[in-house]
Amino acid sequence: MKEILLSILLLTTSTFADCTYSSKNSKITWNAFKTYEKIGVSGTFDKTVYIPKTAQSIDSLLTSSQILIQTASVNSGNAGRDATLLSSFFKVQNAHTIEAKIISAKAGKAVVEIFMNNVKKMIPMNYHVENEKVVANGTIDLGDFAMLPSLNAINKACYDLHAGKTWQDVEIGFEIATAKNCY
């Protein structure tokens, strides 16, 4: 009888254990498009400042999470392309940083406030959790951030490589590694 009561007590205690979620690090991804066939060119940023937090749920962990991105750390896996992206895109309009803050997150839908080129926009994103990692994606339009002069400059610099077409929509994403701690 004691074993049964002890088992029930342990099960009840573990069922109602207090848990918190914490975030460890983040990764920002992007996928831009070139040519009329809309061929993707993807990459990340190597220098970001992520402000982690702890919360009672994944949704509340995401809400108010912030990141500051240094555009000079753009990394497409090709050093020559990265130099062109920096000189013929980001530097054209002095877009040295991009700031992002998750305003809301619930049931796989998030709203992320992005501040780039002195323009702030609310961007809807979808997210899911896999292997203790939050993975999110969405799309921005460079025109919404008044970045068309930069788009025109990169299109001109890469005219032949892009067959005369650089798209103004860019897929964006983030990954945040999380940990669940129950006590």
pLDDT at residue 1, rounded to an integer: 54
Helix (H, G, I), strand (E, B) or coil at 95: coil
Q: What pLDDT was estimated at residue 102?
A: 96
The answer to whether 95 touches 76, Cβ cutoff 8 Å, is no
pLDDT at 14 over 50: no
Other Cβ atoms closer than 10 A to 134: 24
| Residue type at 46 in one-letter notation | D
pLDDT at residue 3 in the model: 58
User: Band of the pLDDT at 6, cuts 50, 70, 90?
Assistant: very low
Give buried/exposed letters for 71-90 (b at 16+ CB in 10 A, else e).
Answer: beebebeeeebbebbeebbb
User: pLDDT tens digits, residue range 149-159?
Assistant: 999 999 999 99
15 has pLDDT over 90: no
- 12 pLDDT band, cuts 50/70/90, is very low
Least trusted range by pLDDT, from 56-60, 100-104, 138-142: 56-60
Does 2 have pLDDT greater than 60? no
Topology (CATH) of 18-182: Lipocalin (2.40.128)
